Structure 1
Amino acid sequence: MNTSRLVHFLFQGNLVKRIAIGLILGLLVALVNPSIQQTLDFNLASNVGVLGQVFVKALRAVAPILIFFLVMAALANKKVGSKSNMKEIIVLYLLGTFLAAAIAVIVSMLFPSEVALAVKEDASAAPQSVGEVLLALVLNVVDNPLNAIFKANFIGVLAWSIGLGLALRHASENTKQTVADFAEAISAIVRLIISFAPLGVFGLVAETLSDKGLSALGGYAQLLVVLIGTMLFTAFVINPLLVYWKIRRNPYPLVWTCVRESGVTAFFTRSSAANIPVNIALAKRLNLDEETYSVAIPLGATINMAGAAITITVLTLAAVNTLGMEVPFISAVLLSVVASLCACGASGVAGGSLLLIPLACSLFGISDDVAAQMIGVGFIIGILQDSTETALNSSTDVLFTAAVCMEEERKNNA
Structure 2
Amino acid sequence: MNIMRKWTETSLILRIVIGLILGVILGLAVPNATGIGILGDLFVGALRALAPVLVFFLVMHSLANKKDTAESNMSTVIILYLISTFMAAVTAVVAGFIFPSEVTLTQVAEEAAAAPEGIVEVLQSMLMNIVDNPVNALVNANYLGVLAWAVILGLALRKASQHTVDLIGDVSEALSTAIRWVINFAPFGILGLVFVTISETGLSSLLDYGHLIAVLVGCMIVVALVINPLIVFINIRQNPYPLVFKCLKDSGIMAFFTRSSAANIPVNMSLCERLGLDEKQYSVSIPLGATINMAGGAVTITTLTLATANTLGITVDFPTAVLLSLVASISACGASGVAGGSLLLIPLACSLFGISNEIAMQVVGVGFIIGVIQDSCETAVNSSSDVVFTATAEFRKWRKEGRPIKW
Q: Sort the TM-score into its range (normalised by shorter chain).
A: 0.5 to 0.7
Task: Go from structure 1 to structure 2 and tell me whether the alpha carbon gap of 1:153 and 1:297 turns closer, same or farther (over 3 Å shift).
Answer: closer
Single out whichever of 305-314 and 377-386 deviates more from structure 2.
Answer: 377-386
Alignment match, 2:371: 382
Q: When the two structures are superposed, what TM-score results if normalisation uses the length of structure 2?
A: 0.63
SS across alignment from 2:308 = helix
SS across alignment from 1:332 = helix
Task: Go from structure 1 to structure 2 and tell me whether the alpha carbon gap of 1:183 and 1:270 turns closer, same or farther (over 3 Å shift).
Answer: closer
Task: Go from structure 1 to structure 2 and tell me whether the alpha carbon gap of 1:217 and 1:253 turns closer, same or farther (over 3 Å shift).
Answer: closer
> For the Cα contact (< 8 Å) 1:269–1:275, is it kept in 2?
yes
Alignment match, 2:93: 105
Distance 2:268 2:113 in 1: 39
Task: Go from structure 1 to structure 2 and tell me whether the alpha carbon gap of 1:391 and 1:183 turns closer, same or farther (over 3 Å shift).
Answer: closer
Residue 396 of structure 2, aligned match among 375, 387, 407: 407
Deviation at 1:275, TM superposition (A): 1.2
Matched, 1:92 2:55: no
SS across alignment from 1:352 = coil
Matched, 1:154 2:117: yes
Distance 1:244 1:337 in 2: 24
Distance 1:152 1:294 in 2: 30
Distance 1:226 1:100 in 2: 13
One-letter identity of the residue aligned with 2:74: M
| Alignment of structure 1 residues 9-408 onto 2, 5 Å | 84-118=72-106, 154-155=117-118, 158-163=119-124, 166=127, 174=133, 217-218=207-208, 220-408=209-397
One-letter identity of the residue aligned with 2:97: M
Distance 2:342 2:363 in 1: 12
Distance 1:150 1:395 in 2: 31
Deviation at 1:272, TM superposition (A): 1.0
One-letter identity of the residue aligned with 2:101: S
Misfit runs of 4+, over 3 Å: 5-15, 81-84, 149-153, 163-169, 176-184
> For the Cα contact (< 8 Å) 2:105–2:359, is it kept in 1?
yes
> For the Cα contact (< 8 Å) 2:265–2:287, is it kept in 1?
yes
Distance 1:182 1:361 in 2: 29
Distance 1:10 1:347 in 2: 28
> For the Cα contact (< 8 Å) 1:83–1:292, is it kept in 2?
no
One-letter identity of the residue aligned with 2:299: I
SS across alignment from 2:101 = coil
Deviation at 1:6, TM superposition (A): 6.5
> For the Cα contact (< 8 Å) 2:72–2:281, is it kept in 1?
no
Distance 2:288 2:105 in 1: 37
> For the Cα contact (< 8 Å) 1:271–1:349, is it kept in 2?
yes
Distance 1:152 1:306 in 2: 20
Distance 2:396 2:329 in 1: 25
SS across alignment from 1:237 = helix
Distance 1:324 1:406 in 2: 47
Distance 2:339 2:113 in 1: 25
Q: When the two structures are superposed, what TM-score results if normalisation uses the length of structure 1?
A: 0.62
Distance 2:74 2:304 in 1: 32
Deviation at 1:7, TM superposition (A): 11
Task: Go from structure 1 to structure 2 and tell me whether the alpha carbon gap of 1:294 and 1:183 turns closer, same or farther (over 3 Å shift).
Answer: closer
Task: Go from structure 1 to structure 2 and tell me whether the alpha carbon gap of 1:182 and 1:256 turns closer, same or farther (over 3 Å shift).
Answer: closer
Alignment match, 2:169: none
Alignment match, 2:145: none
Distance 2:259 2:125 in 1: 30
> For the Cα contact (< 8 Å) 1:153–1:362, is it kept in 2?
no
Between the aligned residues of both structures, percent identity stands at 53
Deviation at 1:95, TM superposition (A): 0.7
Distance 1:165 1:386 in 2: 22
Report the count of equivalent residues: 289
Distance 2:115 2:268 in 1: 36
One-letter identity of the residue aligned with 1:388: C
Distance 1:292 1:238 in 2: 23
Distance 1:166 1:354 in 2: 21
SS across alignment from 1:318 = helix
> For the Cα contact (< 8 Å) 1:247–1:406, is it kept in 2?
yes
Task: Go from structure 1 to structure 2 and tell me whether the alpha carbon gap of 1:378 and 1:165 turns closer, same or farther (over 3 Å shift).
Answer: closer
Deviation at 1:168, TM superposition (A): 8.4
Deviation at 1:389, TM superposition (A): 0.7
CA-to-partner distance for each residue in 1:91-115, whole Å, 9 max, x for gaps? 0001100100011011011100012
Deviation at 1:328, TM superposition (A): 2.0
> For the Cα contact (< 8 Å) 1:358–1:372, is it kept in 2?
yes
SS across alignment from 2:235 = helix
Distance 2:311 2:289 in 1: 34
Task: Go from structure 1 to structure 2 and tell me whether the alpha carbon gap of 1:345 and 1:168 turns closer, same or farther (over 3 Å shift).
Answer: closer
> For the Cα contact (< 8 Å) 1:263–1:395, is it kept in 2?
yes
Deviation at 1:277, TM superposition (A): 1.3
SS across alignment from 2:342 = helix
Deviation at 1:329, TM superposition (A): 1.9
CA-to-partner distance for each residue in 1:68-105, whole Å, 9 max, x for gaps? xxxxxxxxxx99x9953100000000110010001101
> For the Cα contact (< 8 Å) 1:104–1:314, is it kept in 2?
yes
One-letter identity of the residue aligned with 1:236: L
> For the Cα contact (< 8 Å) 1:305–1:393, is it kept in 2?
yes
